[in-house]
């Protein structure tokens, strides 16, 4: 009898060991592990923490998205070299004392802990993903999707149809032609309408089918407008409208936008959120009007555009009242949307897609190595707070559902090289990853807005 029991025990131990060996590796709950769970997300706590020095990935720093939970998603753009290898454990021991972590680890931890919406800054652009006919490069995008899942973040796909960072072969009659698009244009060797339509449709189908269950929001089209109409070759070398032109003969050569949205809907299905994204609409009324008119016209033709992205590369002297007026204008499209697509009523949205704040205004605009003072940072904090308070008004109205920063910190920002080399200070952490006053003013704005 004893022998039988021993045998049974041995078998059951063996079985349980086998089961252990086959168990999936433990996944790390980044959002929980990287942030002190005893934080209270209160004004008192902000007062205390903001008086101390903290880095973006520090354990005792609250997660920014939490202040906005249930109101609006808080997102960030990053590049593939800033992605943490999610298959390993945490970037570092978050509870360890002292400056043990590298700046790079701080960036990665900051991305994981503070945001619940991600966008890849460059590596989902179509030139990266479809460099030559029949060639697809989705390695970075695949990693991005896996990271998003591991970190519990929703994802934006950015971007498909644009005049920049788009495969040049799409525009050439012979896809292997080495001449520039401008030269092809001069030589009469641009692609035909049919060729370009076929190429962009094929790519859209490929990318949107691949990420159908993973990427919720897409910038189908980016920057298709100039100050008051569809772009032309003379505005930023865009040949889209020139090649595809006015297919339906309604007087507007913006049919490539419709073609792209229709292909995206076809491939992405009913639930995917398809958006059009542009810059300067924060202040340029004529451009906002042009966006309104174009989107309305397309909706009335049955093209379902689910939202408009305001890139929001703004300056510290941004006029918030003008910005509000332009957001209100686009928010008015929700009514048109509901009328045209009653079965999707309430689904039209605005997103703030690429928020950052140029600090070089006025007299210091040319001082590339200007040293930012506490006063400059306070001015920036006040402007960010004013903006977030306004964004939350639109979130309260149910029309704004996401705000994304275009980068994590001042070192990793395109504004250091565009429009020229200068040390800008556009984002929430400085070059050492120390949180700036604007991080805390934004958190405070979220709490105070609720208290209104």
CB nearer to ligand GLA: pick between 35 and 311:
311
- To the nearest whole angstrom, how small is the minimum distance from the Cβ of residue 311 to ligand GLA? 5
Q: Rounded distance, CA 84 to CA 216, Å?
A: 21
Is 296 labeled as catalytic in the residue annotation? no
Binds ligand GLA by CB under 6 A, chosen from 35, 280, 311, 315 = 311
- Rounded-to-integer distance, Cα 58 and Cα 81, Å: 21
Give the separation between CA 230 and CA 295, rounded to whole angstroms: 12
**Closer by beta carbon to ligand GLA, 255 or else 354:** 354
Binding mask 144-173 for ligand GLA (x = CB under 6 A): --------------x---------------
Give yes or no: 270 in active site.
Answer: no
Contact predicate 400/352, CB 8 Å: yes
Structure tokens of 13? 């131990």
- Catalytic residue, from 278, 356, 401, 410: name it: 278
Q: Of 55, 53, 63, 73, give the one whose Cα is nearest residue 30.
A: 63
343-382 residues near ligand GLA, rule: CB under 6 A: 354
Q: How far is the CB of 57 from ligand GLA (least distance, A)?
A: 23
- Per rule CB under 6 A, is residue 408 in the interface with ligand GLA? no
| Residue 414 found at the interface with ligand GLA (CB under 6 A) | yes
CA atoms within 13 A on the CB side of 365: 8
Q: By C-beta, is 380 or 413 nearer to ligand GLA?
A: 413
What are the φ and ψ backbone dihedral angles of 25, each rounded to 5 degrees?
A: -60, 145
- Rounded (5°) CA angle 304-310-315: 175
Catalytic residue among 33, 140, 354, 411: 354
CA angle (221, 223, 227) in 5-degree steps: 140
Give min distance, CB of 238 to ligand GLA, in A. Answer: 14
Q: Tell which positions 45-64 bind ligand GLA, by CB under 6 A.
A: none
Residues 273-292 that bind ligand GLA (CB under 6 A): 279
Q: Pick the binder of ligand GLA from 35, 82, 126, 222 (CB under 6 A).
A: 222
- In the complex, the smallest distance separating the C-beta of residue 407 from ligand GLA, rounded to whole angstroms, is 8
d(C-alpha 427, C-alpha 64), whole Å = 13
Nearer to ligand GLA, 67 or 279 (CB): 279
Residue 32 neighbours by CB under 8 Å, 6+ apart: none
All residues at 6 or more sequence positions from 333 whose CB lies less than 8 Å from its CB, including other chains:
292, 295, 296, 299, 308, 348
- DSSP E strand boundaries for 215-272: 217-222
Rounded Cα distance, 190 and 3, in Å = 84
Question: Helix and strand tally (H, E) in the chain?
Answer: 16, 9
- Of the residues 58, 223, 282, 306, only one is catalytic, namely 223
Residue count, binding to ligand GLA (CB under 6 A): 6
CB of 18 to ligand GLA, least distance (A): 49
Closest residue (Cβ) to ligand GLA?
414
Active site residue 223: yes
Using CB under 6 A as the criterion, which residues of the chain lie in contact with ligand GLA when the complex forms?
158, 222, 279, 311, 354, 414
Indicate which residues carry an active-site annotation.
Answer: 223, 278, 354
């Amino acid at each position: 009898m004893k022998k039988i029991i021993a045998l049974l025990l041995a078998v059951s131990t063996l079985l349980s060991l086998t089961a252990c060996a086959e168990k999936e590796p433990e996944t790390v709950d980044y959002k929980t592990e990287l942030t002190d769970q005893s934080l209270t997300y209160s004004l008192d706590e902000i007062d205390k923490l903001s008086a101390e020095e903290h880095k973006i990935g520090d354990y005792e720093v609250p997660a920014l998205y939490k202040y906005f939970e249930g109101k609006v998603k808080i997102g960030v753009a990053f590049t593939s070299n800033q992605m943490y290898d999610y298959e390993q454990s945490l970037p570092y021991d978050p509870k360890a004392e002292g400056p043990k972590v590298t700046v790079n680890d701080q960036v990665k931890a900051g991305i994981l802990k503070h945001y619940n919406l991600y966008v890849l800054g460059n590596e989902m652009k179509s030139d990266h993903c479809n460099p030559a006919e029949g060639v697809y490069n989705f390695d970075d995008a695949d990693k991005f999707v896996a990271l998003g899942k591991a970190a519990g973040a929703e994802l934006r796909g950015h971007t498909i149809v644009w005049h920049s960072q788009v495969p040049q072969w799409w525009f050439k009659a012979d896809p292997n032609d080495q001449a520039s698009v401008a030269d092809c244009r001069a030589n009469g060797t641009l692609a035909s309408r049919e060729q370009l339509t076929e190429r962009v449709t094929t790519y859209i189908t490929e990318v949107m089918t691949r990420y159908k269950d993973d990427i919720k929001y897409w910038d189908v089209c980016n920057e298709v407008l100039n100050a008051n109409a569809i772009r032309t070759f003379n505005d930023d070398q865009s040949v889209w409208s020139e090649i595809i032109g006015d297919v339906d003969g309604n007087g507007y050569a913006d049919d490539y936008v419709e073609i792209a949205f229709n292909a995206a809907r076809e491939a992405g299905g009913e639930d995917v959120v398809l958006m059009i994204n542009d810059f300067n609409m924060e202040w340029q009324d004529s451009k906002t009007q042009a966006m309104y008119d174009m989107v309305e016209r397309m909706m009335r033709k049955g093209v379902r555009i689910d939202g408009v992205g305001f890139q929001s590369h703004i300056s510290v002297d941004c006029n918030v009242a003008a910005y509000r007026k332009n957001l209100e204008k686009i928010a008015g499209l929700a009514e048109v949307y509901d009328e045209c697509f009653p079965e999707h009523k309430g689904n039209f949205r605005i997103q703030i897609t690429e928020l950052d704040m140029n600090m070089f205004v006025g007299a210091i605009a040319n001082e590339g190595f200007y040293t930012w003072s506490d006063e400059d940072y306070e001015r920036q904090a006040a402007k960010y707070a004013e903006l977030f308070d306004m964004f939350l008004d639109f979130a309260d109205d149910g029309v704004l559902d996401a705000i994304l920063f275009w980068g994590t910190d001042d070192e990793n920002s395109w504004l250091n090289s565009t429009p020229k080399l200068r040390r800008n200070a556009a984002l929430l952490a400085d070059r050492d990853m120390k949180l700036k006053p604007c991080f805390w003013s934004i958190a405070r704005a979220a709490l105070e807005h609720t208290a209104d």
